[in-house]
Structure formats: C-alpha cells, structure tokens
Structure 1
Amino acid sequence: MDELDRAMINHLQGGFPLCERPFQEVAAQLGIGEDELIVRLGKLLDEKVLTRFGPMYQIERMGGAFSLAAMRVPEEDFERAAAIVNALPAVAHNYRREHAFNMWFVLATETPQGIHETIASIEAETGYPVCNMPKEREYFVGLRFAA
C-alpha cells in the first residue's frame, strides 16, 4: 500500500456518498480521478488488503436475521466441518478460536426462520451441535481502523 491507498481506506471508513456518481465524488475529495479510485479499490480487494467493500445493512428491518453461532469441533475434523460451514451462502464470517467452542461464525439470512434452517443443515451435515446466539440488542460502536 502507498500513501494514497491509506488515504482512501481512511476516508472511506467515514462513509460513502449516496448519489448518482459516488466514486466520482469520493475521488474528487481525494484529489484523484474516478477510474483511479475504482482500479485501486479493486486491487486492494484482489490482493486481500481489504476483505470487502460495501454497505452494512440492518437486515432485520428488511425481514432478515443475523445470529452468532459457535461449535465444538474436534481438531482432526476441523477442516472438513469448516468447509461445510463456509460453503453455505448464509455464513458471513467463520473464525477459528482457541476455546472449547473453537469455530465461531455469523449467519445472515433473508428470514428469521432461515437461521434455524441453516443451523439444522449445519448440524446434519457436520454431525456437531450448533450453539445459536441471536442478537438481542444492537449497539453502534463506530469502529475505524487507521491505515
């Protein structure tokens, strides 16, 4: 990353304009061209410097659901179980943890029932029970990472 990449990342964490040409507007704020901004963002995503670039939605307001889930998976079967979990479109993130519950993942579904269906599928396919921890309240933290 160079200084411009860092400036882009820092700037974009503060919001993204809702207008006809948002990339053009951000590029102007950074003093570069729209095409350069788009190419640089694509490169940061391709190189896995950024894992995603996009909006965060309150899915519940659209009828969907989020839930944090965890599983206890024997180390010798971790990769197989992780592949099953990661293959599901409802799985947003999956992390290995040094804990009795060593696999933690976030589920995002179009309906609240989708959470239960996805968990049932994971349990059937992996053979391990899933600990479901649905969101009870939401807090805005305003987390930013300076590049």
Structure 2
Amino acid sequence: MLSPLHKQLLNNYQQDFPLSPTPYRDIADQLGVSEDEVLAAFQVLAEQQLISRIGPVIAPNAIGSSALVAMAVSEADLAWVAELVSSYPEVNHNYERENRFNLWFVLIADNEAHLHSVLADIEARSGYSTMLLPMLADYFINLGFELNLHD
C-alpha cells in the first residue's frame, strides 16, 4: 500500500526533479517533510520495484553513443539471455517482442568502440547474433503517468 508521501513522490517527481546540489532537501521542503523521510520513501519505492532509478533522460547520441538492438533468441533461451543482457550496465532496458526478433534492448556507451565491444561480448557469451538498428528519426514518448492521489 502506498502512503500519501509515496504517491506524491511518484506523481510529482517523475519529471521536474529538482536540479540542485540538494534535490532531496528541496523535495522535502516542497512537501513539508524531512529530507530523511524523502530518502526513506524513495528507498521503499525502490525495494518494492516501483522505481528502478532516479536519473536523467538524455537524448540518444547527445552524450556518447546509443543504439537499439534486436536479437532472435530461442524461446528456451530467452529468459537467461534477457538476464545476461540486463546484467550489462550499458543496457538501459530490454523487453520481449512477439516477432522472430524477440529480444530488444537499448544500449548506451561512452563511444562507438565501447558500444561495439559490448555487443561483441553479448554475442560471445550468449551465442546469438545482435542486430544494430540505427536511429533514423528521433521520437520522444512521455512515459509519465498521473496517480490518483485520493485513494
């Protein structure tokens, strides 16, 4: 069950997270609670896997190199290959699709050489090829959602 503070944090700070040297204190001041309460609430949200990280969303290839990657993985191997892919800190997220190319992920590295090195490692460790899909057009999808704070 989410507390009112949890709901406020999820609702108000999906976007517009304070950009300051003391963002958690700023949030605490805005919500009328202590900084320790804000930090503890974010910790609970992370433990409950309601948030995975707090960080910026940076446009693709604005810093470093990024790519969308697809793999055709047998159904029997899909779970462990997905887990392998997710173990790389360079992988932003991965997901299954209903297609011959059924495992897709976003890879972000500090440069093109590092990106290709990670792909080569994934291929060597998984035994499956990767298909690098270059970005031809940039689309931004706002994934924010509003919680009903009155429950």
Pick the TM interval, shorter chain: 0.7 to 0.9
SS in 1 for 2:118: helix
Contact 1:8 1:30 in 2 (8 A): no
SS in 1 for 2:132: strand
Question: What residue identity is the alignment partner of 1:38?
Answer: L
Q: CA separation of 1:87/1:140 partners in 2, compared to 1, >3 Å: closer, same or farther?
A: closer
Whether 1:73 and 2:65 are equivalent positions in the alignment is no
Give the aligned length: 146
Following superposition, the deviation at residue 69 of structure 1 comes to 0.8
Contact 1:90 1:107 in 2 (8 A): yes
Name 2:117's counterpart in structure 1.
117
Following superposition, the deviation at residue 52 of structure 1 comes to 1.5
SS in 2 for 1:37: helix
Name 1:35's counterpart in structure 2.
36
Question: What residue identity is the alignment partner of 1:137?
Answer: A
Following superposition, the deviation at residue 135 of structure 1 comes to 2.4
Following superposition, the deviation at residue 126 of structure 1 comes to 1.8
Contact 1:91 1:106 in 2 (8 A): yes
Question: What residue identity is the alignment partner of 1:143?
Answer: L
Name 1:144's counterpart in structure 2.
144
Following superposition, the deviation at residue 54 of structure 1 comes to 1.6
Name 1:129's counterpart in structure 2.
129
More helix by share: 1
Structure 1 gap segments, 5+ residues each: none
Following superposition, the deviation at residue 59 of structure 1 comes to 6.2
Structure 2 gap segments, 5+ residues each: none
**Normalising to structure 2: TM-score of the pair?**
0.84
| Identity among equivalent pairs (%) | 36
Following superposition, the deviation at residue 36 of structure 1 comes to 0.7
Contact 2:69 2:133 in 1 (8 A): yes
Structure 2 counterparts to residues 39-50 of structure 1, below 5 A: 39-50=40-51
Whether 1:22 and 2:23 are equivalent positions in the alignment is yes
Structure 1 residues 37-74: Cα deviation after superposition (integer angstroms, max 9, x where no partner): 11101110111111222222346333x11111111111
| RMSD of Structure 2 on Structure 1 (CA) | 1.9
Contact 2:71 2:128 in 1 (8 A): yes
Distance 2:95 2:141 in 1: 21
Following superposition, the deviation at residue 23 of structure 1 comes to 1.2
Question: What residue identity is the alignment partner of 2:61?
Answer: E
SS in 1 for 2:58: coil
Following superposition, the deviation at residue 10 of structure 1 comes to 1.0
Q: Judge which range, 53-62 or 109-118, deviates more.
A: 53-62
Distance 2:90 2:18 in 1: 28
